[in-house]
Amino acid sequence: MINIQRCYYTTIHSQTLSTDGRFLFCGSNFGEVLVYSVERITATNAAPGPTELEKLPTLPLQVFPVTERCPIYSLAFHKDFLIVGLNGEICGYQWSSKSASIGKKAWTVKLPAPPENADMSEVNYLWLNEAEEILYAGCGDNIMYGISLEDGKVCREFHGHTDYIHCVAGCGSKLVTASEDGFVMLWDSRQKKSYAKIEPHTRPLLQRPEFGRWQGTAAITDDWLVCGGGPRFSLWHLRSLECTIDFDFPERLHVSGFVDDLIYAGGDCNKFYQYNFNGDVTAEIPLSGPSAYSVAIQTEPYRLLAIAGASAQIDVCTSFTYRDIVLHTYKK
């Protein structure tokens, strides 16, 4: 009975991939992490026809209960540890690729306690700088924390937002955050203060008052930035901080990024879009649910795009242009 209920009420808030690219981890609103074999997923894709699509859903190898206190809003992976963001803390769980299973909790990083009148600093987003072994956490107390994975300590706090942070992304030493306050802030990881910020909701072409001013997603490369939320999804040139394209995404946005010289976006819409840098739609991928809240993507060793959100199904694209596999979260 529990699994049947969860098939109807599941939301996947977060995803990450193992360092070797062989396993996919998904965090649910029930405080559980679901583990899938990427090898097994891609092996099921034998160029199926439309009538064969429903025969392909793959169940998780493991459903690991982490907490009953909160959903799993954020995940990351480093070396042999699955990293889970919870309320006020970040935990590392030992991962065994041989047994393909999550083990015991190995370490915990406690975040600074918020003031008494503030909400618990839930960890909404995690972004890992693998080269520097620094984990960046965007939290509900309006702060981004930099955490050293060498000693498990908070090594830097980034203050500037006035409302909770939805998203953190980076490229080298550059970081970007998107917040409920409507600002997208740019940071140098070596500095505590933001060096630039943009306010999409102040641009007439980007305004959508019916959706609000909040920014739910942002991503950067060396030269470009994309962001969106309530305001329209948009592309910005980093040096000039000028908006060059506003994309025709119909609803609120929660995820975005760059891959293969293309730009992807998802949100409160039953389609996942890809665009070129001219703003033209290059792919519309139908989704199993009404909203996309997280994306896991890699090009090697297996080509995989996993899109999850307000659904008990996870849509997988191995070509990045159409859905060819559907994963199930729980068995009925």
Summarised one tens digit per residue, pLDDT across range 283-293 is 999 999 999 99
Residues 6+ apart with CB under 8 A from 330: 3, 6, 7, 10, 63, 312
Amino acid at 204: P
Whether residue 301 is preceded by a cis peptide bond, meaning omega within 30 degrees of 0, is: yes
Block residue for tokens 């859903």: 57
Answer whether residue 47 shows pLDDT above 90. Answer: no
Q: Order of strands across the sheet with 224-229?
A: 215-220, 224-229, 234-237, 242-246
Q: Using CA atoms, how far apart are residues 111 and 242, in angstroms rounded to an integer?
A: 35
Three-class SS of residue 164? coil
Token readout for 159 is 């203050």
* Cα 96 to Cα 43, 107, 309, distances in angstroms: 21, 16, 27
Place of tokens 């493991």: 62
pLDDT value, residue 118: 54
Instruction: Write the CB contacts of 291 (distance below 8 Å, at least 6 apart in sequence).
Output: 254, 267, 268, 269, 270, 309, 310
Lowest mean pLDDT among 193-202, 307-316, 318-327: 318-327
Is the distance from CB of 255 to CB of 292 less than 8 angstroms? yes
* Token duo for residue 249: 């995404």
Is residue 78 within 8 A of residue 91, CB to CB? The reply is: no
Q: How far does the chain reach from its first CA to its final CA, in angstroms?
A: 8
273 contacts: CB under 8 Å, gap ≥ 6:
247, 249, 264, 265, 266, 281, 283, 284, 285
Minimum mean pLDDT range among 27-36, 82-91, 300-309, 321-330: 321-330
pLDDT for res 54: 43
Mean pLDDT of the 101-128 span: 86
Q: Which helix (H) or strand (E) holds 43?
A: helix 38-43
User: What is the C-alpha separation between 191 and 145, in angstroms, rounded?
Assistant: 12
Least confident of 51-55, 65-69, 310-314: 51-55
Query: What b-and-e string marks burial along 272-306, b requiring 16 or more CB atoms within 10 Å of the CB?
Result: bbbbeeeeeeebebebbbebbbbbbbbeeebbbbb
Asked whether residue 51 carries a pLDDT value surpassing 70, the answer given is no
Among 291, 329, 332, smallest CA distance to 61 is for: 329
**Reported pTM:** 0.93
pLDDT tens-place string over residues 215-266 = 999 999 999 999 999 999 999 999 999 999 999 999 999 999 999 999 999 9
